[in-house]
Structure 1
Amino acid sequence: MSETENQRARIKGVFSSEKIAKVGAGATVRKTTQTMYWFAEEDEQGVITIQPLNPNYVPSGPKQEIPKEEFLEQYAPEPEFYSSKVYPSIRKLNQTIAKAERHRDNGDTYSAEYEFGHALRVDEENIRANFGLGLTYLDRGETGKADNIFQRLIKMEATFEAEHKHLFNDFGISLRKNEMYDQATEYYAKALELSPADENLHYNMARACFAKADIQNTVEHLRTALRLNNNLDIAKKFLEYLKKNKLLPQNISGAEPKVSD
């Protein structure tokens, strides 16, 4: 089978599952069947991930992996439901978010806020829309509203997935620039739980720690970043700055990573 044929064979679309439940008690007990709809997708390794559809017909909420044999046995394809309900809803949602992002890029933050808000009424857990609204509030310096979005994002693991890396980085930098240092360090700490070997996350955490005057953790994260990637020049320059200004804590032991002159 060619690579193209293999890609075509992957599972992707809307599927339904049925759950039988008992209602009532004693002589009045009866069985009811509840139908659930899911968006399912198979990756290159053959792992199938399912995500429930919300009442607005868009995939929303936590994803879960399911064995292929179990999936094929318990889930039925719903191609007509996908084409008539789900695809148009996803398409409209993405258009709304794209419109909001254009408004934000053009500095029209109030129109951006309106469109992001509309998107979140369709899917309150949409990562792209949450990031966009949070960034819009940070653009305006509305840190209280931005903190509400931060509290929502920090609870969702999808926030830190690779597909959201660009928005993730922008949001972390904006938190720091708006002097939301506690949120920034909590944000990067959560990200590091999921990606402990990401040198850029360690560097960004160092920046956030430095803003809080936490020099001990600043240096530790810089050194970790350089252990992971000794060619990370911005981390070298930051560490050199700390050395020149005699800001290195005396209780940090061990050889320093080599820095440029």
Structure 2
Amino acid sequence: MTAPSTDRKRREIHPDVQVEKISGAFSTQSVSRVGTGTTQRKAIQKAYWFVEETDPDEDGNRVVLVQPLNNNNVPSGPKEPVLLPDFLANYNPELEYYQTQVYPRMRELKETLKRAEEQRDQGALYSAQFEFEAALDIDERNVRANFGLGLTYMERGETEKAGDIFKRVVTLDAAFSPEHKHLFNEFGINLRKSKLTDQAVEYYARALAISDMDENLHYNIARAYFERGDEADCRDSLKRALELNPNMEVAIRFLEFLDKKDG
């Protein structure tokens, strides 16, 4: 497979107008002065980024998401939005670097994650662990690799190791983004089923700090509270879930169960 150029994909923003969509590796430079007096000199530092243009903002401005490239030449860490005029003024394309360094490593990471997830789906948990760890060697902040390794440990009953992975996951904002919703839900459910109820409560609380308007998160933390023995917090979370969705049947039944139990 040959690497694409610094991907410029077309998207239609008006029936008669097409605008190139920016994607690829770019760099920025910063200049600082080191030393004092006659020994002072300029030092130029270069930083590399992976860039993808996203949808226009609410005012119709073109926006690109800028993400740092780590020491292994793969995108890692938070993405920052930059308006297109500022981006064009400060970022320089790095086509050769993308083709020879970034794209091959991104492809390697993608293929490693695919093998890891296939192995876990097939129940080959030790092979899955090996592949997830290989992915984390490339990008220790990769959400899919962290979720996958944590789930693998839980499926093997290694709750202490799963707890260590949990500590990393809750620091990653990207772990709670819509694109990872399936893995996010599976991870939270397995924390609770693995009797890691304190971690499950902290996990869902972290998610609610990002999105308080999701009735499913309130229901899930209610279940974790219940299994931890915090019935008052459980009731409060169920009521909040029903404020957001009065027809949420599982929350209604859960409250009815609590009322009968305590009646």
TM-score by length of 2: 0.89
1:55 Cα offset (Å): 1.4
Q: Does 1:246 align with 2:262?
A: yes
Give the Cα separation in 1 of the matches to 2:212 and 2:124.
37
Q: Aligned partner of 1:173: which letter?
A: I
Match for residue 75 of structure 2 among 49, 59, 65: 59
1:153 Cα offset (Å): 0.9
1:11 Cα offset (Å): 2.1
Q: Compared with structure 1, are the counterparts of its residues 182 and 235 closer, same or farther at alpha carbon in structure 2 (3 Å cutoff)?
A: same
Q: Secondary structure at the match of 1:107?
A: coil
Q: Does 1:29 align with 2:40?
A: yes
Give the Cα separation in 1 of the matches to 2:18 and 2:181.
25
1:7 Cα offset (Å): 7.3
Match for residue 169 of structure 1 among 185, 200, 204: 185
Identity %: 51
Match for residue 220 of structure 2 among 194, 197, 204: 204
1:24 Cα offset (Å): 2.1
Which residue in the other structure is 2:3 paired with?
A: none
Give the Cα separation in 1 of the matches to 2:89 and 2:201.
45
Q: Which moved more, 1:146-155 or 1:56-65?
A: 56-65
Cα RMSD over matched residues? 1.7
1:12 Cα offset (Å): 1.7
Q: Secondary structure at the match of 2:217?
A: helix
1:143 Cα offset (Å): 0.9
Give the Cα separation in 2 of the matches to 1:200 and 1:243.
21
Which residue in the other structure is 1:184 paired with?
A: 200
Q: Aligned partner of 1:41: which letter?
A: E
Which residue in the other structure is 2:111 paired with?
A: 95
Which residue in the other structure is 2:242 paired with?
A: 226
When you count strand as a share of all residues, which structure comes out higher? 2
Q: Secondary structure at the match of 1:88?
A: helix
1:83 Cα offset (Å): 2.0
1:19 Cα offset (Å): 1.1
Give the Cα separation in 1 of the matches to 2:201 and 2:55.
34
Alignment of 1:139-150 (within 5 A): 139-150=155-166
Number of residue pairs aligned between Structure 1 and Structure 2? 247
For structure 2, which runs of at least 5 residues remain unmatched after alignment? 1-10, 57-61
Which residue in the other structure is 1:47 paired with?
A: 63
Which residue in the other structure is 2:8 paired with?
A: none
Q: Compared with structure 1, are the counterparts of its residues 71 and 3 closer, same or farther at alpha carbon in structure 2 (3 Å cutoff)?
A: closer
Give the Cα separation in 2 of the matches to 1:8 and 1:95.
31
For structure 1, which runs of at least 5 residues remain unmatched after alignment? 248-261
Q: Does 1:110 align with 2:121?
A: no
Give the Cα separation in 1 of the matches to 2:48 and 2:17.
26
1:220 Cα offset (Å): 0.9
Give the Cα separation in 2 of the matches to 1:216 and 1:18.
54
Q: Aligned partner of 2:144: which letter?
A: R
1:132 Cα offset (Å): 0.4
1:77 Cα offset (Å): 1.4
Q: Deviations over 1:180-218 (max 9, x none)?
A: 111000000010010100000000000000001111111
Q: Deviations over 1:53-109 (max 9, x none)?
A: 111110012222223222110101122221222111111101001100111111111
1:159 Cα offset (Å): 1.2
Contact 2:66 2:81 (8 Å CA) reproduced: yes
